[in-house]
Structure 1
Amino acid sequence: MQMKLERLISIIYKLLNHDVISAAALADEYGVSQRTIYRDIDAICAAGFPVVSYQGQNGGYGIMDGYKMDRSLLGSYDVSSLITVLASLSSVFEDERAQGTIERLKTIDRGRETVSLKVDLETKRTEPELLPLLRKAISERKVVAFDYINWNNERTNRELEPLRLHFKYGNWYIQGYCRSRQGEREFRLSRMLNPVVTETVYTLRDALRNEESQAQRLSKDGVADVVLKVGPETLAEAMDHFNFADREFLDDGSMMLRIPVYRPLEARWLWSILLGFGGGAEVLEPRELRAILKDQLRKAIKLYEEV
């Protein structure tokens, strides 16, 4: 009965979203006989939906003109944006519910000629099976066990009560309560190894009900400005990495960046970016960070002394 109800609801939205659709096409899509579709249409009509039957070679079923949802309920820009974002989510998570919502939204977004927005939430740095796996663990409130490579390149075993997935700076993260460290943590999916959704069901902790992440709660006392001078040949790359920084363009074509960073002397992710600029950028402040980068360069040169 539940499957029939879901099929009937889905057929209603199909009819709302198409001018005419044949019984054969509906039967193929839902894996049932045309006779079953005829009975479904009768049930939909009995429920009060004005289904019209069209005869001929291109005949089929449709909803009476004037009955379909008014697009003015939402602005066309709003609907188009929602469809775009949901389509990306549906692709990443293989989410049938999101696809169903898209079908419903399309009933009030007919006649779009151009797409003005495109969102791609996929990333090559994350296994495609991992996102649906973790989302399922979140919805079922199940503990996830995995190995993790931290910024110190240490491999540790973790058990996480997953709370939410977070897409930022082109990467996926998962936030939740780490049983191994007895506190809230955030893990980058690209560094997770051998993830397993256990059968252990957890209860949401009161301290984690707030949507504010641990990173947002960090004390401002730990944030320091990193001042960077970027050469003309490195402008685009630096702006891609630090688009949130204060910028000042100089007369010689270079650029000064002031970047607020939490504990920059411990931020290995920052060191990697700065070293990747090569001679195209120079750290001016803090002086201690200059010394750290100099030491990292010495170690790299030592690896290639025989070349």
Structure 2
Amino acid sequence: MKLERLISIIYKLLNHEVLSASTLAEEFQVSPRTIYRDIDVICAAGFPVVSHQGLKGGYGMMDGYKMDKSLLGSYDVDSLITVLSSLSTVFEDARAQGTIERLQTIGPEHQTSSLSVDLETRRTEPDALPHLRKGITDHQVVRFDYINTKNEHTPRHLEPVRLHFKYRNWYVYGFCQTRQDYREFRLSRMMNVQLTSVHFQPHLDLPQETVLSDPSWQDQVSDVVFRVNPEALAEAMDHFQQADKQFHEDGSMTMRIPVHQPLQAKWLWSFLLSLGSGAEVLEPIELRDILKEQLRNALKLYEEV
């Protein structure tokens, strides 16, 4: 603990002009006397710490002293700081913030970042990500309520292994004690996420995550073709960036996307219906019939009684 504190103090002094002993003592939850001893140790190690007197006095590094920047280039440092800053905000991770401060000491001064990362968390409960992260690092079981793709509401107990950010959503992968198997859960469908006091031993037989590894999966992929009107182009292109696109003289566009079992892909139905009159499915014909049935059922909810 003392070594970690000494290293952190060194990097803080490198990143700030002057820091008082009381400020450092408050941050590290030690007495000012302990900070004085730490400064003596840092000076003995060869770091040029300078003491500043007065009302705004404290400790700082000698002007011009910087750590060696040869290990990482400015582009690498800038990118790492940007990504870590986003992660430290999402997870409220003090360790990530400490890493950022260390990286800043070898980064270029007064340089505007050329990269920005915003890991969207509005679709999750405020404490879900920090709880899951702590569950992973401390091997604690996490309890939550889950709504699956069949709209079934079930309580789950999970031994979390890792978090993913993909397809613009957060997912957690781990061993589900309820189902006695490894599962992946989408955080937007998780409610009442709580850390339990139960600890677990990491499984040695952790399987490789193979998405749709069944060879027969490819045989169940079909192309879905739909025409998008000009007023819905931006939304459709945001959702299907990799689709084959063909523009037409009237400003509309035909999109072609491969979909696994499109006649069972409710996520696809929901998106196409959300475009309203902005999109028309051309193929497969069966999907047109499904969407028409969905629209008829929706209209029944708004019929006059």
Q: TM-score if structure 2 supplies the norm length?
A: 0.89
Structure 1 letter corresponding to 2:85? A
2:200 paired residue number: 201
* Residue aligning to 1:96: 94
Counterpart contact for 1:225–1:285, Cα < 8 Å: yes
Q: Distance in 2 between matches of 1:180 and 1:66?
A: 59
Matches within 5 A, 1:61-210: 61-64=59-62, 67-198=65-196, 199-208=198-207, 210=208
Aligned partners of 1:267 and 1:141: how far apart in 2?
A: 35
Aligned 8 A contact 2:90 2:121 in 1: no
- Which of 241, 255, 258 is the equivalent residue of 2:253? 255
1:202-257 Cα shifts (integer Å, max 9, x gaps): 4324242x3xx343535323322221211100000101111122222222211111
Deviation at 1:195, TM superposition (A): 3.0
Alpha-carbon distance in 1 for matches of 2:140, 2:32: 42
Distance 1:122 1:207 in 2: 29
Q: For structure 1, which segment, 157-166 or 46-55, has the greater mean C-alpha deviation from structure 2 after superposition? A: 46-55
Distance 1:128 1:239 in 2: 30
User: Alpha carbons of 1:61 and 1:197: their partners in 2 closer, same or farther (altered >3 Å)?
Assistant: closer
Unaligned runs of 5+ in 1: none
Letter in 2 for 1:298: R
Is the 8 Å Cα contact of residues 146 and 196 (structure 1) preserved in structure 2?
A: yes
> What is the aligned partner in structure 2 of residue 303 from structure 1?
301
CA distance in 2, matches of 1:261, 1:128: 33
Write out per-residue CA displacement over residues 21-63 of structure 1, whole angstroms, 9 at most, x where no aligned residue. Answer: 3434434544545443222110111233232334566654333
Q: Residues 12, 86 of structure 1: CA spacing in aligned structure 2 closer, same or farther, 3 A cutoff?
A: same
**Quick one: distance in 2 between partners of 1:24 and 1:201?**
40
Question: Aligned to 1:73, what secondary structure does the other structure show?
Answer: coil
CA RMSD of aligned residues (A): 2.4
Q: Secondary structure at the match of 1:100?
A: helix
1:235 and 1:152 mapped to 2: Cα distance?
30
Structure 2 vs 1, CA of residues 29 and 185 (structure 1 numbering), >3 Å: closer, same or farther?
closer
2:236 paired with 1:230: no
Alignment of structure 1 residues 17-36 onto 2, 5 Å: 17-36=15-34
- 1:128 is aligned with what amino acid? P
**Secondary structure at 1:257's aligned position in 2?**
strand
1:294 to 292, 301, 304: 292
User: CA, structure 1 residues 68+127, in 2 after alignment: closer, same or farther (shift >3 Å)?
Assistant: same
Secondary structure of residue in 2 paired with 1:221: helix
Q: In structure 1, what is the Cα distance between the partners aligned to 2:163 and 2:171?
A: 6
* Structure 1 partner of 2:38: 40
Summarize the Cα distance change of 1:157–1:35 in structure 2 as closer, same or farther, 3 Å threshold. closer
- Verify: 1:215 aligned to 2:211, yes or no: yes
Which stretch has the larger CA shift, 297-306 or 170-179?
170-179
CA deviation map 1:177-203 (0-9, x unaligned)? 334444432211121123343415143
Count of aligned pairs between the two proteins: 302
Among 232, 241, 245, the alignment partner of 2:243 is: 245
TM-score, structure 1 as length reference: 0.88
Change (3 A) 1:57 1:178: closer
Distance 1:214 1:243 in 2: 24
Deviation above 6 Å: which 4+ runs of structure 1?
Answer: none
Give, in whole Å, the separation in 2 of the partners of 1:62 and 1:200: 43
Instruction: Give how far 1:91 is off.
Output: 0.9
Q: Distance in 1 between matches of 2:77 and 2:268?
A: 38
- d(CA) in 1 for partners of 2:255 and 2:96? 41
Q: List alignment gaps of at least 5 residues for structure 2.
A: none
Which whole-Å CA distance do the structure 2 matches of 1:220 and 1:181 have between them? 27
